[in-house]
Amino acid sequence: MSTENNLLSIFALGGLNEIGKNMYAIEYGDDIVLIDCGNKFPDESLLGIDLIIPDISYIIENKDRVRALIVTHGHEDHIGGVPFFLKQVNVPVYATSFTLGLIEIKLKEHRILRESELIDINSDSVVQIGEMNISFFKVAHSIPDCLGIVFNTPDGTIVHTGDFKFDLTPENNERPDIHKMAAIGNKGVLLLLSESTNAERPGYTPSEQMVGKNLEQILMKAKRKVIVSTFASNVSRIQQVVNANKKTDRKLALLGRSMVNVAKVAMDRGYLTIPKDMLIEPRDINELPPEMVTILCTGSQGETMAALSRLSTGNFRDVEILPEDTVILAAGPIPGNEKNVTSIVDNLYKLGAHVIYGSGSSSGMHVSGHGYQEDLRLMLTLMKPKYFIPIHGEYRMLHHHRMLAESVGVEEGNTFILKNGDVVDIENSIARSNRTVPNGNTYVDGVDVGDMEFVLRDRKKISEDGMLMIIIPMNKQEDKVLADPEFISRGFVDQNFSELRKGMNRITIETINELHEANRYSWNVMKKQLKRAITQYVKERTRKEPMIVPILMDI
Amino acid sequence: MSTENNLLSIFALGGLNEIGKNMYAIEYGDDIVLIDCGNKFPDESLLGIDLIIPDISYIIENKDRVRALIVTHGHEDHIGGVPFFLKQVNVPVYATSFTLGLIEIKLKEHRILRESELIDINSDSVVQIGEMNISFFKVAHSIPDCLGIVFNTPDGTIVHTGDFKFDLTPENNERPDIHKMAAIGNKGVLLLLSESTNAERPGYTPSEQMVGKNLEQILMKAKRKVIVSTFASNVSRIQQVVNANKKTDRKLALLGRSMVNVAKVAMDRGYLTIPKDMLIEPRDINELPPEMVTILCTGSQGETMAALSRLSTGNFRDVEILPEDTVILAAGPIPGNEKNVTSIVDNLYKLGAHVIYGSGSSSGMHVSGHGYQEDLRLMLTLMKPKYFIPIHGEYRMLHHHRMLAESVGVEEGNTFILKNGDVVDIENSIARSNRTVPNGNTYVDGVDVGDMEFVLRDRKKISEDGMLMIIIPMNKQEDKVLADPEFISRGFVDQNFSELRKGMNRITIETINELHEANRYSWNVMKKQLKRAITQYVKERTRKEPMIVPILMDI
């Protein structure tokens, strides 16, 4: 039974209507527990932005009530915001050993490792925070040691699945805790938050083991070097490459900073086993016969600075792709990356390599880490929640997930399709959503962190039609133009620029004279008028709208 | 037998290692015949560019030898460059009636319709140009009245397939001329140019009729308005919507400028039949019961200004999407457009609509117009060419097409994988490729047409980190700074800008003084030094590299 004043509230600060920057919050009375703090990578419209993280102004406002950040697993969309978050809200971080290893790399880079409190948990841990009793269960995904979370509160049980699929034969024998999930469901779940990434795809996700079998066959057949590109964090897949490599007596080199870093964390903490004499340094590759070499590298998403991209254009020191080498893209392209990936495939073919690629699992070299529709139905069936919030997905995914929930017994009206910031409040076991907390995107641009709205607007404008500056040397006291205006452009050009300049010169002088005669001396008015007049003139003549920047120089 | 001096040459000015801007040339002795002149749409890296068309400087140089432009069909990647081309090289354009109808719309917009010579041909036409005897054959594709071309020269026969698939049950009964193709092959083909778009996809392309059956079922079941979005040029698909509409007694409204334009051309020229009483105006939609209305609209590729996008955000005058309406995306997303399309799907779900979408033919509402591997093998088998040039595709597609050719008998070494500009010369029936003609991308940016390289470089630079101008009022004769420099930024911001300004001020003065003392008075040197010093200072402090523009004002 609920204590009189305690309200149980659930909301997201990121992860709804988007893939990325996951961050969820459970509030019970005076205590706030946060789940995950991810980033999202900007698309091309966010010119020059490095990262997007959740706007945490609500959390900063309620800093003294925040007790913990629990991280379900180590993917960027779940941990990428952690250093930025901890700099503002320094609370203990709970996660499994592998996840903590990846977080530590980030905290080191941001130089805040020492002052951060990291607490190593596993699926048997129990954490008590205020009146919340928090326990965990293992889920299978595409990175080691992933957790689902159970919040037992006096008002009922809330379950957060983390990212998951039901792989019954995972490479690493870390089977999902199906019995534990069933027990949780039997005791009664008031509300389930479950991830929705593959809610549009029918059937069950294939097992990671499928990739292992195919890898082995390719390695057997290959007559020269084999280059396997995959996500560095997919340790199971790396282990499968190692296993296949052992059977075919090849050496293994790791290329790419994150591949080396993550493999180190995984080996140090017991998640990855590579025989000592298998590993070689990249510079030793050329000393071995090519049929004895396998290379594991980053860049499966077509990232221009990553190893695979540089290999495909012959720009990697020490290593060269040669005719009859085999290159395996053991990862599907994330939506938006298709073009970069296929351009790498083109370049690899030009080098004469055999290339194994394909979207989804069509190449046999990739399976998704996110459950398909039947996986999602199984989770809903095990948990039997009264209320349901589909999370971690674009709107259409949340929509399909709701239909799946209703197909296995969640009552119509009991699924909440939320936006980031929408709060579900539970009182007397009745859930309602009718308030919102501040939320949004925070941009990271070099050392700056903020909303950057007007900076982005300027970049966008200039990127389309360039920029045209009009510099007018004036005497402010006498309101007199001292010399002809100077016109300087960047990213803007016109075939008849000298003629255009003459016209702009005329318009500038006319505009200033008109204002002068009208006794409207304000420089701000003058700038505005100049901007308007020049914009119109340039648009008429060139059909372009560069950003016009009039600069009145007081000399 | 060849006349002594006549060389037979084949090359592409666009369409190789890319999807788009198709343009091919056949030269025999003194005569040049061009095939297609398409455009390509810029990706996000080409900031502000409207269109890409082939660089035709080689053609302009050899203007007096160009006899004709033959256009295989009316898609943008085959006709989009025509008006720009004709403005520089005014030769007769040969195409079928429908293709000419679409070209005319473009020539009208560019105000050159009157001076252009358009020659209406069909698959039975024969055109003699110099010693080239040119004939045609029907192919099936996703737009009406498509041609393949046969060039009979004294040195042998060259065949260009155009874009095609082997649809044996096309909606419009325009079956591909398989008997004619077989006869051409039997007479002997020296060289085949065949399109490669789907060379990676196994099997045969499904028939357009599949879409018709599925459309009919959806229209039968729908209880309210149905909105079908597809390519305006896919007249067969539009005809199938009309046919299904007739059976279900619905009215039809056309939305979007190109849908209205293309439907008009198609109806005027007999390619599309819509019963007079079926068509209604958009403003009349709301006066009919929703179950009596079907809407055909543009925007299936997620284009932000097209009808579907505006409908999905409630920004279309006269027409609103309401809960329980059905929206069909009857076109697969072209690579690169996936994100825009899925964001429209999200918005449609938010409006409460039923949405039928999916990539490839998975939704049952789209089939490709380009032949899959078996279609391509069939063409190669029918034509039995000695030499083969795979065209119309990215490198990996050309590569796979070569393997298909070899699998049906083209000898190893007889396939040329070319780049744009690479020429295949044929002498005494032996083909060689060892020279290149000028080629490249020409950008259309407002009224400007050219290479724009440095303009784009500037836009790119500014779009990433913005721009910082340093304006220094000087007396040139005395080489003296007259006032403090002024710093103006756009698209660049720093949290401590006032401090940054102080530092930059100091560096500016120091740099000028140093040069002054060293007696290096050149303003160009001064600008370069300033740019270098400020760039370095700003990068160290902000980790950003805005474009630095020092402006020395002579007052």
Partners of B523 on chain A (C-beta within 8 Å) are none
Provide the annotated active-site residues of A.
Answer: 195, 370
> Is position B265 annotated in a ligand binding site?
no
Q: Give yes or no for residue A493 having a pLDDT over 90.
A: no
> Is position B183 annotated in a ligand binding site?
no
The number of distinct structural domains making up chain B is: 3
Decide if A336 and B335 are in contact by the 8 Å CB cutoff: no
Residues B40 and B186 in one domain: yes
Decide if B482 and A555 are in contact by the 8 Å CB cutoff: yes
Residues A37-41 have a mean pLDDT of 96
Partners of A394 on chain B (C-beta within 8 Å) are 342, 346
Distances (CA, A) of B82 to A461, B58, B148, B241, B514: 30, 16, 19, 31, 57
Q: Give yes or no for residue B77 having a pLDDT over 80.
A: yes
Residues A470 and A327 in one domain: no
User: What per-residue confidence (pLDDT) applies to B253?
Assistant: 97
Q: Give yes or no for residue B1 having a pLDDT over 50.
A: no
Of B336, B450, B473, the CB nearest to A473: B473
pLDDT tens, residue by residue, A158-173: 999 999 999 998 888 7
> Is position B73 annotated in a ligand binding site?
yes
Say which residues have a Cβ less than 8 Å from residue A350's Cβ, sequence separation at least 6.
B395
Residues A60 and A139 in one domain: yes
- Whether residue B436 contacts residue B422, with contact meaning beta carbons closer than 8 Å, is answered with yes
Which chain A residue has its CA at the smallest distance from B451's CA? A493
CA distance, residue B155 to nearest chain A CA (Å): 32
pLDDT tens, residue by residue, B157-204: 999 999 999 999 888 778 899 999 999 999 999 999 999 999 999 999
CA distance, residue A395 to nearest chain B CA (Å): 5
A257 or B494: whose pLDDT is higher?
A257
User: What per-residue confidence (pLDDT) applies to A2?
Assistant: 43
Partners of A415 on chain B (C-beta within 8 Å) are none
Of B349, B467, B494, the CB nearest to A448: B494
Decide if B490 and A462 are in contact by the 8 Å CB cutoff: yes
Of A48, A338, A549, the CB nearest to B488: A549
Look at residue A346 and tell me if it is in a domain: yes
Look at residue B136 and tell me if it is in a domain: yes
Decide if A47 and B469 are in contact by the 8 Å CB cutoff: no
Provide the annotated active-site residues of B.
Answer: 195, 370
Of A458, A459, A555, the CB nearest to B555: A555
Residues A275 and A239 in one domain: yes
Look at residue A406 and tell me if it is in a domain: yes
Averaged pLDDT score across all residues of chain B: 92
Q: Give yes or no for residue A520 having a pLDDT over 70.
A: no
User: What per-residue confidence (pLDDT) applies to B521?
Assistant: 63
User: What per-residue confidence (pLDDT) applies to A1?
Assistant: 43
Q: Give yes or no for residue A132 having a pLDDT over 60.
A: yes
CATH of the domain at B48: 3.60.15.10
Which chain B residue has its CA at the smallest distance from A339's CA? B336
Residues B294 and B227 in one domain: yes
DSSP per residue, A319-335: ----TT-EEEE-SPPPT
Which chain B residue has its CA at the smallest distance from A345's CA? B396
pLDDT tens, residue by residue, A293-333: 999 999 999 998 899 999 999 999 889 999 999 999 999 88
Partners of A552 on chain B (C-beta within 8 Å) are none
Partners of B448 on chain A (C-beta within 8 Å) are 493-495, 542
Q: Give yes or no for residue A79 having a pLDDT over 80.
A: yes
CA distance, residue A553 to nearest chain B CA (Å): 8
Which chain B residue has its CA at the smallest distance from A447's CA? B542
User: What per-residue confidence (pLDDT) applies to A535?
Assistant: 93
Decide if B336 and A339 are in contact by the 8 Å CB cutoff: yes
Residues B460 and B433 in one domain: no
A477 or B207: whose pLDDT is higher?
B207
CA distance, residue A279 to nearest chain B CA (Å): 32
**Cβ contacts from A onto B, under 8 A:** 167
User: What per-residue confidence (pLDDT) applies to B517?
Assistant: 77
Look at residue A474 and tell me if it is in a domain: yes
Look at residue A460 and tell me if it is in a domain: no
Please name which of A174, A192, A173, A175 lies closest in space to residue A184, comparing C-alpha atoms.
Answer: A192
Single out the residue in B307, B336, B356 at which a domain terminates.
B356
Query: For the whole model, what pTM was predicted?
Result: 0.88
Residues B503-514 have a mean pLDDT of 88
Partners of A304 on chain B (C-beta within 8 Å) are none
| CA count, 13 A, side-chain hemisphere, B287 | 6
pLDDT tens, residue by residue, A385-421: 999 999 999 999 999 999 999 999 999 999 999 999 9
User: What per-residue confidence (pLDDT) applies to A410?
Assistant: 98
Single out the residue in A414, A449, A484 at which a domain terminates.
A449
For chain B, what percent of residues have pLDDT higher than 70? 98
pLDDT tens, residue by residue, B309-364: 999 999 998 899 999 999 999 998 888 888 899 999 999 999 999 999 986 667 78
CATH of the domain at B334: 3.40.50.10710
Partners of A455 on chain B (C-beta within 8 Å) are 466, 491-493
Look at residue B447 and tell me if it is in a domain: no
Say which residues have a Cβ less than 8 Å from residue A423's Cβ, sequence separation at least 6.
A9, A10, A11, A433, A435, A436, A437
Of B463, B483, B492, the CB nearest to A555: B483
User: What per-residue confidence (pLDDT) applies to B337?
Assistant: 87
Question: Which range in A181-195, A536-550, B334-348 is most confidently predicted, on average pLDDT?
Answer: A181-195
What is the Cα–Cα distance from A161 to A141, expressed in whole angstroms? 11
Q: Which residue range(s) make up the domain with A280?
A: 209-356
Residues A320 and A390 in one domain: no
Residues B390 and B484 in one domain: no
Give the angle B118-B123-B124 at the CA atoms, nearest 5°.
100
Residue A315: both structure tokens together: 């720009």
- Whether residue A301 contacts residue A337, with contact meaning beta carbons closer than 8 Å, is answered with yes
| CA count, 13 A, side-chain hemisphere, A175 | 7
CATH of the domain at B486: 3.10.20.580
Which chain B residue has its CA at the smallest distance from A473's CA? B555
Decide if B346 and A394 are in contact by the 8 Å CB cutoff: yes
pLDDT tens, residue by residue, B81-138: 999 999 999 999 999 999 999 999 999 999 999 999 999 999 999 999 999 999 999 9
CA distance, residue A497 to nearest chain B CA (Å): 12
Which chain A residue has its CA at the smallest distance from B551's CA? A488
Look at residue B287 and tell me if it is in a domain: yes
Partners of B543 on chain A (C-beta within 8 Å) are 446-447
Residues A48 and A156 in one domain: yes
Q: pLDDT band for position A145 (50/70/90)? A: very high
Residues A265 and A376 in one domain: no
Given the structure tokens 């396939």, which residue do they identify? B415
Residues A435 and A386 in one domain: yes
Residue set of the binding site of A for Ca(2+): 48, 50, 445
Look at residue B380 and tell me if it is in a domain: yes
CA distance, residue B539 to nearest chain A CA (Å): 9
Q: Which helix (H) or strand (E) holds A475?
A: strand A467-475
Decide if A448 and B486 are in contact by the 8 Å CB cutoff: no
Give the angle A311-A313-A315 at the CA atoms, nearest 5°.
65
Q: Which residues partner with B11 through β-bridges?
A: B25, B423
Of A355, A462, A483, the CB nearest to B462: A462
User: What per-residue confidence (pLDDT) applies to B336?
Assistant: 82
Which of B17, B201, B346, B459 is the mutation pick for testing A, counting most A CBs within 10 A? B459
Q: Give yes or no for residue B2 having a pLDDT over 90.
A: no
